[in-house]
Amino acid sequence: MAELTRMETDDVTMGPPAGLRGVAVDFASDQRAFKNVSWGKAMMWIFLLSDTFIFGCFLLAYMTARMSTPVPWPNPSEVFALNIGGQEIPLILIAIMTFILISSSGTMAMAVNFGYRRERGKTAALMLLTAALGATFVGMQAFEWTKLITEGVRPWGNPWGAAQFGSSFFMITGFHGTHVTFGVIFLLITARKVWRGDFDTGRRGFFTSRKGNYEIVEIMGLYWHFVDLVWVFIFAFFYLW
């Protein structure tokens, strides 16, 4: 009992005991396990965890389809090649999309940083840049879909091999593209609030009637980086494998 009291005091002054013991103390404590994490950030992380399982199941379904079909899988390196200047360059569009999404993650990380320094001009500008890069990504994805559809790829078949290629492709990239699109929309909304100075003046939210703070930029950033993270896995398993 005495030890427990000591640990609770430590918690306020010096942080939790090190390692797993600290985890156990946090989870065994009253009311809240994530001591120094705001509810907004904790809930975003828990949402992202659930999203991880969704994308995990999509990639699993794709793995199962690809492993269990006796028909050869279309070669993504050729399917996603682009003809530039008379030369077939494998997977080039996907590579460019990858670089664009990574760059958008970089600008987002810097937006979070400037947010906490209360430089709202720079924060809003970097968020808008992030949104622009995200919109570019979605645009290139629309181009890719159009190209594949005109070449005859359907969810139930394609000219090159296993029929499940189309359904896996549209399902996985479609769901990811939807995530990016929603990310862009919320980036624009949050950037507007930052630009207007809502988090300096304590203006109340339209929907929640609560005052926000610059942590919302970081929470928005978590979602955006997650979209980038999912793309890392899609790029590896669907396009490169």
Partner 1 sequence: MAQAQAHSGQQHPIRLYLVVWGLLFVLSTFSYLVDYLGIQGYLRWTLIIVFMMLKAGLIVAIFMHMAWERLALVYAILLPPLLVLVFVAMMASESHYTIFTRLAFLGGAGS
Interaction residues for partner 1, span 69-128 (CB under 8 A): 69-71, 77, 90-91, 95, 98-99, 102-103, 105-106, 108-110, 112-113, 115-117
Cβ proximity to partner 1, 83 vs 150, nearer residue: 83
Interaction residues for partner 1, span 158-217 (CB under 8 A): 162-164, 214-215
How many chain residues are in contact with partner 1, going by CB under 8 A?
A: 68
Q: Which stretch binds partner 1 (CB under 8 A): 43-51, 132-140, 182-190, 202-210?
A: 43-51
| Eight-state DSSP code of residue 239 | I
The H or E element containing residue 82 is strand 82-84
CB atoms within 10 A of CB 115: 26
Nearest approach, Cβ of 53 to partner 1 (angstroms)?
7
| H-only helix segments in the chain | 2-13, 19-28, 39-68, 76-79, 92-116, 120-150, 164-196, 198-201, 215-234
Nearest approach, Cβ of 170 to partner 1 (angstroms)?
17
Cα gap 85→171, rounded to integer Å:
32
Of 133, 235, 115, 119, the C-alpha closest to 184 is 133
Amino acid making up residue 136:
T
Nearest approach, Cβ of 81 to partner 1 (angstroms)?
10
Site string for partner 1, 3-22 (x = CB under 8 A): ---------x--xx--xx-x
Site string for partner 1, 135-164 (x = CB under 8 A): ---------------------------xxx
The full DSSP string for 19-36 is: HHHHHHHHHHSSS-S-TT
CB 26 within 8 A of CB 34: yes
189: left (phi over 0), alpha (psi -120 to 50) or beta: alpha
Cα gap 115→139, rounded to integer Å:
28
**Residues in contact with partner 1 by the rule CB under 8 A:** 12, 15-16, 19-20, 22-23, 26-27, 33-37, 42, 45-46, 48-49, 52-53, 56-57, 60, 63-64, 67-71, 77, 90-91, 95, 98-99, 102-103, 105-106, 108-110, 112-113, 115-117, 162-164, 214-215, 218, 221-222, 225-226, 228-229, 232-233, 235-236, 239-241
